[in-house]
Amino acid sequence: MATTDPIMKAAITTAVSSHREEGRDRRPPKLRVVTVSGTLNSPSKTDALLDAIVDSLAQALRIEVCAVRVSDLGPQLAAALTQESIGEQLHNALSQIETADLLIVASPVYRSSYTGLFKHLFDLIGRHSLVNVPVFLAATGGSEKHALILEHSLRPLFGCFEALTLPIGVYAHGDDFTGGRVTGPDVLKRIDQSISQSVPLILLRSEERWNAEPGQ
């Protein structure tokens, strides 16, 4: 999705160019983005929403994306009780999440909250592994009535990790999708708004992290 919103374009251009002017882009050029999907379905509206968010972010920043889907981890995730007793695929997924520059997390609403496997995945994440990591919150539901999942379920979960949840989350429901893609104009606009507000925070946090870990 190309960004057409002139306000968003201006905000992002300002953030990225002030970052460059201060010589900060000597750092690794690509941001390591990890998407985490709590869906159990394929095709999935939640995955379509993640695609739309990543498309919008890619208009603003150079990114490399790793996708973690709980349904791909399936039985080994459900059976895992500790980080010590897990297989290679799950270990790699946890490592990707714990070392991301930016997490974009999305879950379908199941009984007013995120899916059980989504929560179980984060139960296996180190308690201090996400401190100050920017987290973009997103969710899909069958109706618009459960949009507050972003605030009453997802934000407190990442608050527990002391992560930096980004100010505007995105919720989409049935009418916002056509042919497996997000087409609802309000949702697309909200994604753009969220990205434009988030880019300065994401760049600031990445810079702090790269300074703290100069070997990266």
Ligand X SMILES: Cc1cc2nc3c(=O)[nH]c(=O)nc-3n(C[C@H](O)[C@H](O)[C@H](O)COP(=O)(O)O)c2cc1C
Binding site for ligand X (CB under 6 A): 39, 41, 44-46, 108-112, 140-143, 146
Bridge partners (DSSP) of residue 108 are 140
Smallest gap from residue 131 Cβ to ligand X (A): 29
Mutual angle of helices 185-212 and 6-21, in 10-degree steps:
10
Smallest gap from residue 200 Cβ to ligand X (A): 30
Q: Name the helix (H) or strand (E) containing 8.
A: helix 6-21
Closer by beta carbon to ligand X, 112 or else 216: 112
Closer by beta carbon to ligand X, 15 or else 68: 68
Smallest gap from residue 148 Cβ to ligand X (A): 11
Smallest gap from residue 181 Cβ to ligand X (A): 13
Closer by beta carbon to ligand X, 157 or else 203: 157
Q: Which residue is nearest to ligand X (CB)?
A: 141
- Using CA atoms, how far residue 43 sits from 39, 48, 57, 180, 194, in Å, is 9, 8, 22, 7, 25
* Residue 38 to residue 102: CA distance in whole angstroms: 17
Closer by beta carbon to ligand X, 175 or else 208: 175
Find out whether 213 and 99 touch, Cβ atoms under 8 Å.
no
